[in-house]
Structure 1
Amino acid sequence: MGKGYNAAIAANPYVVGSFACIGGGLFGLDISSMSGVLNNDAYLRTFHHPGSNAQGAIVASMPAGSFVGALLVSWLADRIGRKNTVITSGWIWVVGSILQCAAQNRGMLVVGRIISGLSVGLASSVVPLYQSEITPPAIRGRLVSMQQWAITWGILLQYFVQFGCSYIDGVASFRIPWGLQMIPAIILSLGMLFFPESPRWLMDKGREDEALQVLADLHGNGDKNNELVVLEYEEIRAQVYFERTEGARSYLDLIKPGVLRRVSLGCSMQMWSQLSGMNVMMYYIVYVFQGAGLTGRRANLIADSVQYVLNVALTIPAILYIDRWGRRPLLIAGSALMGFWFMLVGGLQGRFGAWGDVDGTETWVITGHDAATKGIIVCSYLCVCSFAISIGPVSWTYPAEIFPLRVRAKAVSISTATNWAFNFALAWAVPPGLSNIAYKTYFIFGAFDFAACIHFFFCFPETAGRSLEEVEEIFAQGHAFTAWKIGRDVGKKTVEDAKKQVKELELHEHIDEKVSDV
């Protein structure tokens, strides 16, 4: 049987680990595909000037579909594999993009966005899962965090396409960007044909020879006898065997001792990433800057683009140093800073704003206070920067590396579904919130950020630099470990420790086989 992938590509872990991130870019494309049209006259005319509730529903339809897609991964990724699930997500996105581009009314637009959301839900769950299973521990955080960078690039590129097309008269100003967004999905689906399947999934399906070959191509330049490749192969094989002895897999496994705690951490991580308020600054930045008193559609578009550029740029340090800095420090510092900036934005809005009219809509807006307007814009930039360098990348990395293999696909999908459930709720709730309680909305998100900071400190152990099997040993201690006392080296195995564990598990396997023969 042929490999079914290009061995030369597989030999470069950065290429293998980063290409699938195009799936994350689809999420970014969607975010700015809506934020860029909120003040587009042609869009407003075509869809009959949706009010705050209707616009919230249109935006929220995508995360609603993503919620379903994320749940499907729990079944699909185990059944057809991680790689084929990524490919499937790309083709579903193409269908959704076609429907959005051709939308004649709100109903057709919502259906297209739900289908696109289904694709994003699949990709956002399976891509970190795939990356975590094919990359070595030393760079796993860096490569999985590139999922967030791909999201920021998707936001930026689509926004500039929207910006350029805003100079076109008529419906082409928003239909062209919605049509062009299918190109990355086509590249993703076709390109993934040349990439390997997850060796852990292959091992789990009994395709051990293929798993060994993939590991050799990924981490040993094709040499199956490479000592580290053999060690990793035996460690994965022993872990798969051990988990098989625990019986059939079901969703009930997610509430078993030792797993439930990790499920709560994964779901909480994704919940806080949404409650941090970042998507307020992404989906509805047009409304934020309007309320700050930034007048003129072009001026607003330019200010928005600066925010998206900062989002891309500040994600780079996290990608480069996430494995050196660790997950915990980034989460704690990022959430504290975001809470501070949101409180400042709410304070400035409350002090200098008042109810007024913006394009025929009653809005809480600052007028005649240029310093306050600039202060809010700067604080929103700093808020985005704080997220980009911390919670953004870690929110995808952490859930992908804390679960045991036997429930990994299900647990990651549940965690990501939590992300989309809160994304859906906030996408729908924020426009009415800004319309009714105005600046107090920012205080709510600031409070969420401070609560997240406390939770990160007391409950989230460090996982940086450990293999997935070593992370398993941390949580195997049950409630015996204290999160903030798990250092970078605590519980970390040496090569000799790993060899010893493999031999012990192989001995158990040999004894079981003898008993079975008898």
Structure 2
Amino acid sequence: MGYNARIASNPYVVGTFACIGGGLFGLDISSMSGVLSNDAYKRVFSNPDSNAQGAMVAAMPAGSFVGALAVSQLADRIGRKRTIILSGLIWIIGSILQCAAVNRGMLVVGRIISGISVGIASAVVPVYQSEIAEPRIRGRIVATQQWAITWGILIQYFIQFGCSYIDGVASFRIPWGLQMIPAIVLSSGMVFFPESPRWLFDHGREEEALQVLADLHGNGDTKNELVRLEYEEIREQVLFERTEGAKSYLDLVKPGMPRRVFLGCALQMWSQLSGMNVMMYYIVYVFQGAGITGRRGNLIAASVQYVLNVALTVPAIIYIDKWGRRPMLLAGTFFMGFFLFLVGGLQGGFGRWGTVEGETNPVWVVSDHDSISKGIIVCSYLFVCSFAITMGPVSWTYPAELFPLKVRGKAVSLATSANWAFNFALAWAVPPGLANIAYKTYFIFGTFNFAAFIHILFMYPETVGRSLEEVEEIFAQGHTFSAWKIKKDVGKKSLGQVIEHNKELEYQVTDHLDLPEKV
């Protein structure tokens, strides 16, 4: 599939368009949170209890786990671009099944298929974005993945809000049907965008890779200095990897790699254990606990949270390449833990078991304490803001920067699958948790955030401003439990140094390489 060189001349356009795949994740989150109090939904799906509702919500991350693992093969075999196109096509199938669902089984199947699509997109889009962006803007480009997720949540939630005034099944079928539109746009639009230059080079299409780099970063000029440096760095990495033989999953356990795989998987795990997606999926239950009941009150209170999520992601996108990954992660985990403990403490100190409008089972609710209820709501909003401006964008950016080209597809796939494994477990477990241990649930997630703070402080090195090839030098320094000691100039090389190193590597490659002349 060809691409339009004029469109490809702007890396922001290329990177942000691909992140529509992230928007699919956001659409799914609020496609369920917006119907939890919908009478027509409850009637069609037989008034699901907390366990059944958890299972239906968890069907999507279960499929996403499978989809993320599939990227380990798809991204390397058919390319980053075609894999993104495939994710959009799968989403359309899943949306059709959800829209037409007449029972729980059909809904679960549709959500699993949509989940496969989201898993594929969530794993491959950050890889694609990181490989088409130059180092100084890479964080900004990949962070748009999180922004797309927040927009997906917000748009779908307001569609749900509007359709909630429709009587009957159309109130939830219309939103579930409309979510096909972004996937159609994604799959059709990606045809006009380039393949990753690093994937092209790795598959013997070096001249095409050079031209893509020139279009993206040099206004079409193949002799541009930045283009030359990137080309030589990619060449250096590919030459080195070819001296090590064929690609294999065993590469993930070779010296130096297990640490990076662990960091990538752990960061995605912490992003789920932060409690953010729980707040997104089950915001209705959170506000019930604060004493806000009724369809209108709940939907309006929740919509404020979704607007904040979108708005506060913007500063993160703008400044992620100035603030750095470590400071953002440390600040985010600390404040998220702090606000969750406040929510749990306020609910525990002033709440009791009782009944609320529209629910037959008892819930933990704060009543007769208007100021406390407002305090809980404010703390939940501040929690969302803390995630949006820190952990949200960095959790997608950082894993995509950690790995060498040879294993990047497989390693990011594995890291993203960790995200979905924990997403699945939490989506299923939280409704029973809120039904049984109530406010204590927030203490659990608050503790996870403080544990993440300690882990990040000691083990996560800074990667901002370095090319994907320069990141290799960071991990060559060691400092496994003292990540703050790595200096900013580690990994930096001049064009001449890279070319000289390439000459040495060429002599080490046993098989003949049909590489083009250096630019």
TM-score interval, normalised by the smaller of the two chains: over 0.9
Local SS of the residue matching 2:46: coil
Cα distance, 1:41–1:512 mapped onto 2, change above 3 Å: closer
* CA displacement, residues 52-102 of structure 1 (integer Å, 9 cap, x when unaligned): 000000000000000000000000000000000000000000000000000
Provide the C-alpha distance between the structure 2 equivalents of 1:101 and 1:146, rounded to a whole number of angstroms: 28
Provide the C-alpha distance between the structure 1 equivalents of 2:226 and 2:63, rounded to a whole number of angstroms: 42
Q: Does 1:94 align with 2:92?
A: yes
Counterparts of residues 420-435 of structure 1 (less than 5 Å): 420-435=420-435
Provide the C-alpha distance between the structure 2 equivalents of 1:280 and 1:74, rounded to a whole number of angstroms: 27
Local SS of the residue matching 2:7: helix
Aligned length: 511
Counterparts of residues 299-314 of structure 1 (less than 5 Å): 299-314=297-312
Provide the C-alpha distance between the structure 2 equivalents of 1:512 and 1:181, rounded to a whole number of angstroms: 49
Conserved? CA contact 2:317–2:393, under 8 Å? yes
**Aligned-pair distance for 1:279?**
1.1
Among 8, 16, 19, the residue aligned to 1:18: 16
Match for residue 255 of structure 2?
Answer: 257
Match for residue 396 of structure 1?
Answer: 396
Provide the C-alpha distance between the structure 2 equivalents of 1:513 and 1:280, rounded to a whole number of angstroms: 52
**Aligned-pair distance for 1:256?**
1.4
Provide the C-alpha distance between the structure 2 equivalents of 1:24 and 1:131, rounded to a whole number of angstroms: 12
Conserved? CA contact 2:308–2:385, under 8 Å? yes
Conserved? CA contact 1:285–1:304, under 8 Å? yes
CA RMSD of aligned residues (A): 1.4
Match for residue 503 of structure 2?
Answer: 506
**Aligned-pair distance for 1:485?**
1.6
**Aligned-pair distance for 1:184?**
0.2
Provide the C-alpha distance between the structure 1 equivalents of 2:462 and 2:490, rounded to a whole number of angstroms: 11
Match for residue 438 of structure 2?
Answer: 438
Local SS of the residue matching 2:365: strand
Match for residue 47 of structure 1?
Answer: 45
Provide the C-alpha distance between the structure 1 equivalents of 2:305 and 2:335, rounded to a whole number of angstroms: 17
Provide the C-alpha distance between the structure 2 equivalents of 1:351 and 1:502, rounded to a whole number of angstroms: 65
Local SS of the residue matching 2:194: coil
**Aligned-pair distance for 1:490?**
3.1
Provide the C-alpha distance between the structure 1 equivalents of 2:293 and 2:33, rounded to a whole number of angstroms: 17
Matched-pair identity in %:
76
Match for residue 113 of structure 1?
Answer: 111
Counterparts of residues 312-327 of structure 1 (less than 5 Å): 312-327=310-325
**Aligned-pair distance for 1:494?**
4.3
Local SS of the residue matching 1:248: coil
Conserved? CA contact 2:459–2:480, under 8 Å? no
> Which amino acid is the alignment partner of residue 464 of structure 1?
V
> Which amino acid is the alignment partner of residue 240 of structure 1?
V
TM-score by length of 1: 0.97
Conserved? CA contact 1:257–1:478, under 8 Å? no
Cα distance, 1:511–1:88 mapped onto 2, change above 3 Å: closer
Local SS of the residue matching 1:364: strand
Cα distance, 1:103–1:512 mapped onto 2, change above 3 Å: closer
Provide the C-alpha distance between the structure 1 equivalents of 2:226 and 2:14, rounded to a whole number of angstroms: 19
**Aligned-pair distance for 1:257?**
1.3
Match for residue 196 of structure 1?
Answer: 194
* CA displacement, residues 380-412 of structure 1 (integer Å, 9 cap, x when unaligned): 000000000000000000000010111000000
Provide the C-alpha distance between the structure 2 equivalents of 1:246 and 1:449, rounded to a whole number of angstroms: 39
Counterparts of residues 101-500 of structure 1 (less than 5 Å): 101-358=99-356, 359-479=359-479, 482-487=482-487, 489-495=488-494, 498-500=495-497
Farther-moved stretch of structure 1 (83-92 vs 224-233):
224-233
* CA displacement, residues 158-185 of structure 1 (integer Å, 9 cap, x when unaligned): 0000000001000000000000000000
Local SS of the residue matching 1:293: coil
Conserved? CA contact 2:163–2:171, under 8 Å? yes
Local SS of the residue matching 1:193: helix
Conserved? CA contact 2:146–2:393, under 8 Å? yes
> Which amino acid is the alignment partner of residue 497 of structure 2?
K
* CA displacement, residues 3-22 of structure 1 (integer Å, 9 cap, x when unaligned): 81010111111101110000
Cα distance, 1:511–1:265 mapped onto 2, change above 3 Å: closer
TM-score by length of 2: 0.97
Conserved? CA contact 2:239–2:505, under 8 Å? no
Structure 1: gaps of 5 or more residues: none
Conserved? CA contact 1:134–1:198, under 8 Å? yes
**Aligned-pair distance for 1:513?**
6.4
Provide the C-alpha distance between the structure 2 equivalents of 1:396 and 1:98, rounded to a whole number of angstroms: 28
> Which amino acid is the alignment partner of residue 103 of structure 2?
N
Structure 2: gaps of 5 or more residues: 514-519
**Aligned-pair distance for 1:505?**
2.2
> Which amino acid is the alignment partner of residue 307 of structure 1?
Q
Provide the C-alpha distance between the structure 1 equivalents of 2:480 and 2:412, rounded to a whole number of angstroms: 24
**Aligned-pair distance for 1:512?**
4.8
Farther-moved stretch of structure 1 (504-513 vs 105-114):
504-513
Provide the C-alpha distance between the structure 1 equivalents of 2:511 and 2:263, rounded to a whole number of angstroms: 40
**Aligned-pair distance for 1:223?**
1.2
Hey, which bits of structure 1, 4+ residues long, moved more than 3 A?
Answer: 478-481, 510-516
Local SS of the residue matching 1:468: coil
**Aligned-pair distance for 1:234?**
1.6
> Which amino acid is the alignment partner of residue 506 of structure 1?
K
**Aligned-pair distance for 1:355?**
0.7
**Aligned-pair distance for 1:502?**
2.5
**Aligned-pair distance for 1:500?**
1.2
**Aligned-pair distance for 1:480?**
6.9
Provide the C-alpha distance between the structure 2 equivalents of 1:346 and 1:174, rounded to a whole number of angstroms: 32
> Which amino acid is the alignment partner of residue 375 of structure 2?
G
Local SS of the residue matching 1:420: helix
**Aligned-pair distance for 1:187?**
0.1
Conserved? CA contact 2:147–2:314, under 8 Å? yes
Local SS of the residue matching 1:493: coil
> Which amino acid is the alignment partner of residue 492 of structure 2?
K
Provide the C-alpha distance between the structure 1 equivalents of 2:512 and 2:421, rounded to a whole number of angstroms: 48
